Amino acid sequence: MFSSKVEKAINEQIKNELYSAYLYLSMAAYFDSINLPGFAHWMRVQFAEEQDHAKRFYHFVYERGGRVILQALDQPPGEWASPLAVFEETLKHEQKVTALINDLYALAVQENDYASQVFLQWFISEQVEEEANATQIIETLKMVGEKGQALVMLDHQLARRGTD
């Protein structure tokens, strides 16, 4: 049986995943505005992944006999001080999403909702990858700095995301 508490929490998580997509699209627009198309591409790939996450939750609710209720999204920020600031916010945001997924899993355990626990395992693993990716880019930006040839090289590297 699909717990109404878990159903409500997953509906909230759909909103959170869609906000994540919206945030990353805003970050892509920022990178386009400062002529870093590779960084913008990386964020557009991230945008698409977050939309996919929302769709996974959406379909899961219906597979369990529940009902999706979409909620309003907040406007994401549109300006950052630097590429490093964008990825520091990305990491902070992914850490928040990790906490939300962990809370959702804990609720599924509390509700003895084994199907939701199994479903959420994929998201738990995905969050490890999301945080690691953001951390790696932060560390690279700290090493190379945010101006000059090294930044252009990193921009070209990030443009290859999804093509390897």
Q: What is the pLDDT of residue 147?
A: 72
User: Which tokens go with 64?
Assistant: 């369990």
Average pLDDT over residues 98-119: 97
- Which structural domains are found in the chain, ordered by start? 4-158 (1.20.1260.10)
> Would you say residue 25 has pLDDT above 80?
yes
* pTM to 2 decimal places: 0.92
What's the distance, CA 11 to chain centroid?
16
State the pLDDT confidence band at 164, using cuts at 50, 70 and 90: low
pLDDT of residue 41: 96
Tell me the C-alpha distance between 120 and 105, whole Å.
Answer: 6
For 26, 54, 123, 128, the CA distances from 22, given in Å and listed in that order, are 6, 12, 19, 21
Q: What is the pLDDT of residue 27?
A: 98
- Length of the chain, in residues: 164
Q: Which residue has the higher pLDDT, 145 or 11?
A: 11
Does the pLDDT of residue 125 top 70, yes or no?
yes
